């Protein structure tokens, strides 16, 4: 029969941990990686008028003004913690849950559940935890200040996160051993960590067709965030016909973690991933990393970083973990990169011989005049058609 319970506080649930990697810091790409000889080395692009030291702060102020409203605002009805268990065809709208000792909302062993316009804050656990469920839609949620990840998806199928925002949570969205996970148009601001958390979105052993992280914004403001990877795919694998798509996302800010950065795929293996049309500005130690696995396609991305004590390389391909299976059959093409390592030298690309065959387009790097960091303020072209019949993301 199942239950929808409101007002029942629960003990703090434990998040399914991504496999801890004590070697991670030692596995980060070595400092001073050589750039590919065929590429033209670049100086870092010009900084905005407010100056070098606060570029991310200045850009984040402008970017955050674009953020649409989420949650229920003045239309909220207050509620205690919510548990949806063993139910089908449930719709919950415009509820506010604050200060729960554990998770604010749990959806367990249920199907066809819609959560829309919820405002969730101060949860000791997750904002929303989805376990062994299917066909769940989270639309326009506002989640803030949670003790664990804002949204946790575990052992579930066909889960969509549409719009909304997650601020000051351990990580934004964490999906574990699930299928058909889609994150679109969500704002993920100031992940708090600590490692192994600190991601905007992490897919951990997510598999099969229909997985996507698209048109999402990840912002890490200096002094307010403790990020690792903005987007991380850990042992996650799509299919040849339906690769995991990481497309049209905007990532602003990162560091000072010596191992964190922008978009990391192939972490301890995985494969059939497409990283396309993303814009990354000052994302951390690296911009886009292919750390193992097979059949990663990295195309038409813009990656920009000025020299900071933790910066290293714009795009890299390298088998970083011996237990990650084979590494190879990757393609890099049409990317534009202006990335400075800590000593100020341009370091756009490194491809290790441990991931052969890998094809890296010799035209990877273009002139710095084309790489104004203010590009992060513009919505990627492929995101403008979301929801229309000609939506370029509707490929699954």
Contact 276, 252 (CB under 8 A): no
Instruction: Tell me the whole-structure pTM to 2 decimals.
Output: 0.89
Does residue 325 lie within any of the structural domains? yes
Residue 234 in domain: yes
pLDDT band at 20 (very low <50, low <70, confident <90, very high): very low
How many other C-beta atoms can be found within 10 angstroms of the C-beta atom of residue 46? 14
Residues 97-118 have a mean pLDDT of 97
What pLDDT does 370 receive?
59
The pLDDT confidence band at residue 21, using thresholds 50, 70 and 90, is very low
Using one digit for the tens of pLDDT, what is the confidence trace for 269-313?
999 999 999 999 999 999 999 999 999 999 999 999 999 999 999
Tell me the pLDDT tens digit for each residue of 162-190.
999 999 999 999 999 999 999 999 999 99
Q: Mean pLDDT across the stretch 264-268? A: 96
Structural domain contains residue 226: yes
- Residues 312 and 282 sit within 8 Å (Cβ to Cβ): no
**Structural domain includes residue 135:** no
> How many Å apart are CA 45 and CA 30, to the nearest integer?
24
Question: How many structural domains comprise the chain?
Answer: 1
Ramachandran category for residue 164: left, alpha or beta (phi over 0 → left; psi -120 to 50 → alpha): left
Q: Is residue 385 domain-resident?
A: no
For residue 28, is it within any domain? Answer: no
* H runs (alpha helix) in the chain: 24-27, 55-64
According to the model, what pLDDT value does residue 323 have?
Answer: 83
pLDDT band at 16 (very low <50, low <70, confident <90, very high): low
**What is the distance between the alpha carbons of residues 383 and 375, in angstroms, rounded to a whole number?**
14
Residue 83 resides in a domain: no
Percentage of the chain lying above the pLDDT 70 cut:
82
Structural domain contains residue 327: yes
Residue 301 domain boundaries: 52-68+163-378
- State the Cα–Cα distance between residues 57 and 50, nearest whole angstrom: 9
């Amino acid at each position: 029969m199942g239950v929808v319970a409101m007002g029942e506080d629960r003990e703090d649930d434990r998040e399914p941990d991504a496999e801890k990697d004590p070697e991670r810091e030692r596995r980060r790409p070595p400092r001073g990686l050589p750039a590919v000889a065929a590429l033209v080395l670049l100086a870092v692009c010009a900084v905005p008028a407010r100056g070098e030291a606060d570029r991310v702060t200045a850009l984040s102020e402008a970017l955050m003004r674009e953020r649409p409203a989420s949650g229920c605002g003045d239309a909220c009805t207050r509620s205690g913690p919510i548990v949806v268990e063993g139910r089908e065809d449930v719709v919950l709208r415009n509820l506010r849950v604050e200060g729960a000792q554990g998770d604010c909302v749990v959806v367990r062993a249920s199907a066809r559940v819609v959560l829309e316009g919820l405002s969730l804050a101060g949860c000791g656990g997750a904002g929303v935890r989805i376990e062994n469920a299917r066909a769940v839609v989270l639309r326009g949620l506002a989640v803030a200040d949670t003790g664990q990840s804002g949204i946790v998806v575990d052992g579930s199928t066909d889960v969509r996160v549409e719009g909304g925002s997650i601020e000051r949570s351990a990580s934004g969205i964490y999906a574990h051993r699930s299928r058909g996970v889609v994150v679109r148009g969500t704002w993920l601001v100031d992940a708090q960590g600590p490692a192994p958390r600190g991601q905007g979105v992490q897919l951990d052993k997510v598999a099969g067709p229909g997985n996507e992280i698209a048109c999402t914004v990840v912002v890490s403001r200096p002094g307010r965030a403790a990020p690792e990877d903005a987007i991380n795919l850990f042992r996650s694998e799509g299919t040849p016909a339906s690769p995991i798509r990481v497309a049209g996302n905007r990532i602003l800010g990162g560091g000072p973690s010596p191992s964190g950065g922008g978009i990391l795929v192939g972490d301890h293996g995985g494969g059939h991933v497409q990283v396309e049309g993303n814009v990354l500005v000052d994302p951390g130690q690296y911009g886009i990393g292919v750390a193992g696995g097979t059949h990663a396609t990295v195309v038409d991305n813009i990656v920009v970083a000025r020299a900071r004590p933790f910066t290293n390389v714009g795009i890299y391909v390298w088998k970083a973990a011996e237990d990650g299976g084979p590494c190879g059959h990757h393609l890099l093409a049409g990317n534009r990169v202006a990335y400075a390592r800590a000593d100020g030298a341009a370091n756009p690309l490194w491809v290790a011989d441990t991931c052969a065959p890998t094809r890296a387009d010799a035209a990877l790097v273009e002139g710095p005049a084309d790489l104004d960091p203010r590009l992060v303020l513009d919505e990627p072209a492929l995101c403008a058609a979301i929801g229309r019949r000609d939506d370029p993301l509707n490929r699954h």
